[in-house]
Amino acid sequence: MTTADAGPPPVLSVRQVSKRYGGLTAVDAMSFEVRPGEILGLIGPNGAGKTTMFDLVAGSVAPSSGQILIGKDDVSRESAHRRIGRGLARTFQIPKPFPELSLLENVLLARQGQAGEQLFANFLMPGRVRAQEAAAREKAMELLDFVLLKRLAHEPARVLSGGQRKLLELARVMMAEPAIILLDEPAAGVNASLLEVIIDRIRAINETGVTFLLIEHNIDMVSRLCHRVLVMASGQLLCEGTPDAVSQDPRVIEAYLGGAA
């Protein structure tokens, strides 16, 4: 099993996790740990099992065997919604905001634990509900400003480009105040100028102490952002290390150029 060096306990642990679909093993006894405050990359050739591993961590699918822990808590059978409540949130490779809602409304929908979500609170505690709604609106506007979309706050999400939708997705995730963010190919479909903005915003969020686990095919982005990289091939952990180290590992070169699935 891959373990972190001596230091703070991991914020996320994957222990001998496998996922089988009939006779196909998509993830085969994967183990790794995510350290607090790091940006950890997960890379590998097409068909390596990265997306399945990501879905297992996010709670979209349940493992066939093994354990997934957030901190010390086993969340292997918990839903994605429950994991959000534990501080783990994710973005998607293809963001799907509500197209007819404004950017502000899309971000507000991600707010957790609002008193106004409970019917009777609106009658019994109207002052508290109004105060929370005002605070949420202010927070949402701050996040839209942070991702450089404040000028479009009241525009419908359908007007956004692909890169802008990635930025909106980042604002929506941050609205839930997560401790860990799973990023699913943040560079996919993004032009060069907006990619620089996304990289800069991820770094800025990470500097506040938020931990990241990201899947990405853009190796340049991985090398610029990630403190450590995991490489998967054929559903298994092939190697791990710094971006420079894994890029020179003969096993990684063989996996990418030798056609490992």
Give the domain range for residue 222. Answer: 12-97+172-257
Q: Do residue 146 and residue 123 come from a single domain?
A: yes
* Predicted pLDDT of residue 4: 45
Residues 119 and 92 placed together within one structural domain of the fold: no
Q: Are residues 23 and 73 in the same domain?
A: yes
Residues 102, 156 contacting (CB under 8 angstroms): yes
Say if CB 198 and CB 187 are below 8 A apart.
yes
Same domain (yes/no): 25, 92: yes
The pLDDT assigned to 129 comes to 64
Per-residue model confidence as pLDDT tens digits over 109-158: 988 554 444 444 544 455 666 777 889 999 999 999 999 999 999 999 99
pLDDT on residue 133: 86
pLDDT at residue number 3: 45
Q: Which residues contact 27 (CB under 8 A, 6 or more apart)?
A: 17, 18, 19, 49, 52, 53, 56, 63, 235
* Residue 52: per-residue pLDDT: 96
My answer on whether 111 and 223 are in the same domain is no
Residue 7 lies in a domain: no
As given in the structure block, the two tokens for residue 6 are 């001596």
Both 110 and 187 in one domain: the answer is no
Q: Does the structure show a pLDDT above 80 at 257?
A: no
Q: Does any domain span residue 225? A: yes
Non-local CB neighbours of 36 within 8 Å, separated by 6+ positions: 8, 9, 10, 11, 209, 211
The pLDDT, as a whole number, for residue 255 is 87
Q: Are 93 and 17 in the same domain?
A: yes
The vertex-80 CA angle with 220 and 226, nearest 5°, equals 20
**Could you report the per-residue pLDDT of 9-54, keeping only the tens digit for each?**
999 999 999 999 999 999 999 999 999 999 999 999 989 999 999 9
Average pLDDT over residues 161-186: 95
pLDDT band of 243, cuts 50, 70, 90: very high
Please check whether residues 92 and 116 belong to one and the same domain: no
CA distances from 193 to 91, 124, 183, 196, 215 (A): 20, 49, 19, 5, 20
Tokens representing 171 are 């604002």
Assign residue 179 the CATH number of its domain: 3.40.50.300
Residues 70-118 pLDDT 10s: 999 999 999 999 999 999 999 988 899 999 999 999 999 988 554 444 4
Q: What is the mean pLDDT of residues 201-207?
A: 97
- For residue 192, tell me if it sits in a domain: yes
Assess whether 138 and 20 both reside in one domain.
no
Both 128 and 217 in one domain: the answer is no
**Residue-wise burial string across 156-165, b where 16 or more C-beta atoms lie within 10 A, e elsewhere:** bbeebeebbb
Is-contact 199 166, C-beta < 8 A? no
Give the Cα separation of 53 and 216 in Å (integer).
Answer: 13
| Phi, psi dihedral angles at 20 (to 5 degrees) | -115, 140
Given this model, what pLDDT does residue 5 score? Answer: 52
Same domain, 180 and 93: yes
Residues 118 and 213 in one domain: no
Answer yes or no: is 167 within a domain.
no
Q: Name residues whose C-beta falls within 8 Å of residue 10's C-beta, 6 or more positions apart in sequence.
A: 4, 33, 34, 35, 36, 69
Whether pLDDT at 261 is above 50: no
Q: For residue 40, what are its two tokens?
A: 């950890």
Q: Which two tokens stand for residue 62?
A: 């349940």
Cα 116 to Cα 143, 178, 194: the distances in Å are 21, 21, 36
> Does 1 map to a domain?
no
**Residue 127 has what pLDDT?**
62
165 is a domain residue: no
pLDDT value of position 110: 87
Q: 212 with 183: CB under 8 angstroms? A: yes
Q: Is residue 142 in a domain?
A: yes
Q: Structural domain tally of the chain?
A: 2
Residue 100: per-residue pLDDT: 97
Q: Is residue 2 in a domain?
A: no
